[in-house]
Every structure is written in structure tokens, then in C-alpha cells.
Amino acid sequence: MTTTQIHAGDESVIEVTDLRRVYGGEFEAVRGVSFEVGRGELFALLGTNGAGKTSTVELLEGLDRPAGGQVRVLGHDPYTERHLVRPKVGVMLQEGGFPSELTVDETVRMWAGATSGARPGAEALEIVGLAKRGGVRVKMLSGGEKRRLDLALALLGRPEMLFLDEPTTGMDAEGRQDTWDLVRSLRDAGTTVLMTTHYLEEAESLADRLAIMHEGRIAASGTPAEVTAAEPSRISFELPQGYFVGDLPPLDAIGIVGHELTGRTVKLRTQHLQFSATRLLTWAAEQNVELRALDVRSASLEEAFLQIAREARSQDEPGRRAGDRQKEAVA
């Protein structure tokens, strides 16, 4: 899928049109990105390292003037009308950067002083599960706890719109799950959320819609189901004793677009999972054989992401032959 424009529902909280960002007058980190985020939606921006996610989000936060294109957040230009946008927006940056000698309580108080209509600090700490850590110096917090503190600060102003830049980096599995529950509950309460993440499972679990960036452009976009639907599903099993791959029904006739044999384990890829699996199981029943270690699954977002990244890279290398790309797709 290579959609470059993403449409939100009825009311757009974020509208990005042909956005560009250039560093040092020559390096174009964001090269014509367009998408919309609707009110109450959770939108995830994914991408390879250096794809331009942070560069894009910083423009949405009004930290720089775009080199080209347009950004509207809550109906305003976040750079020239920052004073109108900032009070309604919560931002959790990748690096919080608050003084590490202060305690958690002192940090929250300091931040609340600079936030209009701030909720009580204790309430923000309670929401993120840091209520009992108020007296601890920031430098003594674990990486995951620091991310929770970042989130508490972003929530102080009861934001309509929340920017989360890699919100669960450094958290253990439980902390990550708690943060996911929290982000979901904020979204369910009507907060619009735009997050970047390296964890594809996080995007798959949380995002209503997402975009995958590669080298400054959107390479794929849609709901997690739409993005993964374009990728082949997998069927794997152990070849029954005494059988060879050639004994299976003709693979192209049952919708298989790629196969691999490792020892006796067969891995098949198909765009028509139900059709291929039914034909294969019918064959097994007719042969009266059991397909041991049978595993049938749709593509995960991770597989879709890796494939999109591979395709994007191969398009960057026009000298590569189409056959090479096919081999990679089968692997």
C-alpha cells in the first residue's frame, strides 16, 4: 500500500499538507508529507531510523517553521499561532531533559507553574503510577519511571491533543502495558493522540490509523489491518514422513506466492489465506496425513513494516533486478 494522503473522520485536529523540513539549507529530512488526524483518534507515526518522524512531529509542535507545505493543529498554525495552540496541547518529548537534582514533586510543581490551568501535580503523578515516588530525585528514577514522569508533565494541562514521542522506551513489559492502558483511556476520554514508536506491536495494539515513513516520505498508511492486509499471510508445517514438496498440491494452483523449505519445515506465503489453507488441509485429509506443527497466520504489522522498508530501499537502488526483490519477498 502506498497511499500518501490519509483522511481523518469528521473533524480534523491535525492537517498536514505536503510538509517539508530542511536542515542546514540542503538536507531534506521531510519530503512532502500529508496526513490528517481526527478528533479522538490515536495516530501512530512509524518508520526506519532517521525516517523523519521526530522532524515531522517537531513541526506539528510548532518548534520550527516548515521549509514548505502547511500544518494546522486545532485549526491554527502551530508556529505562528503558538500561543493559541500550546495551552491545548501536551507534549512528551524523547528526552525530557529536566534537572536531575530535583525531586519528582519539585519537577511537577515547576512544570505546573508554567502550565495554564494545570491539574494538581499529585493527580498527574497518580495517573501515571508515580504517586509514591514524589520525594525521589529524578536522577534516581529508572528509565521507565522517567518516561512516566515525562507523561505526567504532558498531562498537567489536561490537553486536548497529546504528542507522544516514543512513550514506552526503557519501560519493562508491565510498565509498557500500563502505559498502553493509560493512553487508551485518554483516547477513550476524547484526547487526540499522535505518537511515534519503534515498537510495531505497540502501534498494532494502540493505533486507530498509522503511517510508515521512510527517508522523509510516507511509504504506507491506513488502519493497522489495512497496512497488514497488503502483505502475504504465512502457513507453515512439517512435511509428513515420506513426502516431498513436489508431492504437495501444485503451489500456484492453491494461491501460494512463495515457499521455503528448512529441514522438513515448509513455509508458504499466500495472499488468499483461507483458500490456500483449505486446499492444503483438504489435500492432507485425502492423503490421510497429519500436518504437524501447523501454523496459519496473517501478516503482522512487523512483517508488513519490514517488507515496506525493503521495498522502499530497493526503489532507492534502481540498479537492483526485480528478481532480487522477489527473492527477498519470499525469504
Ligand X SMILES: Nc1ncnc2c1ncn2[C@@H]1O[C@H](COP(=O)(O)OP(=O)(O)OP(=O)(O)O)[C@@H](O)[C@H]1O
Residues in touch with ligand X (CB under 6 A): 23-24, 27, 29, 47, 49-55
Shortest spacing between CB 46 and ligand X, in angstroms: 9
Please, are residues 109 and 125 in contact by the beta-carbon 8 Å criterion? no
Nearer to ligand X, 217 or 269 (CB): 217
Nearer to ligand X, 52 or 232 (CB): 52
Shortest spacing between CB 225 and ligand X, in angstroms: 24
DSSP at 119: P
Shortest spacing between CB 219 and ligand X, in angstroms: 12
Shortest spacing between CB 186 and ligand X, in angstroms: 23
Nearer to ligand X, 108 or 194 (CB): 194
- Pairwise CA distance, residues 165 & 163, whole Å: 6
Shortest spacing between CB 218 and ligand X, in angstroms: 12
- Pairwise CA distance, residues 315 & 319, whole Å: 9
Single-letter code of the amino acid located at 42: L
Shortest spacing between CB 278 and ligand X, in angstroms: 41
Shortest spacing between CB 221 and ligand X, in angstroms: 15
171 strand-pairing partners = none
Q: What is the dihedral angle through the alpha carbons of 228, 175, 165, 73, rounded to the nearest 10 degrees?
A: 80
Nearer to ligand X, 40 or 52 (CB): 52
Sign of the Cα torsion 199, 202, 144, 183 reads: positive
Nearer to ligand X, 97 or 263 (CB): 97
Closest C-alpha among 112, 184, 200, 189 to residue 149: 112
- Pairwise CA distance, residues 37 & 243, whole Å: 53
- Kindly tell me the burial class for residue 312, based on how many C-beta atoms sit within 10 Å of its own C-beta (0-12, 13-18, 19 or more): buried
At 301, which helix (H) or strand (E)? helix 301-316
Shortest spacing between CB 134 and ligand X, in angstroms: 31
Nearer to ligand X, 24 or 135 (CB): 24
Nearer to ligand X, 53 or 217 (CB): 53
| Angle (CA) 215 217 223, round 5° | 120
Nearer to ligand X, 64 or 126 (CB): 64
Distances from the Cα of 146 to the Cαs of 122, 182, 203, 294, in angstroms?
16, 16, 21, 43
Shortest spacing between CB 71 and ligand X, in angstroms: 15
Helix (H, G, I), strand (E, B) or coil at 283: helix
- Pairwise CA distance, residues 76 & 78, whole Å: 6
- Pairwise CA distance, residues 316 & 231, whole Å: 20
Nearer to ligand X, 168 or 236 (CB): 168
Helix (H, G, I), strand (E, B) or coil at 208: coil
Please enumerate in sequence order all residues whose Cβ is within 8 A of that of 120, keeping only pairs 6 or more positions apart, or say none.
none
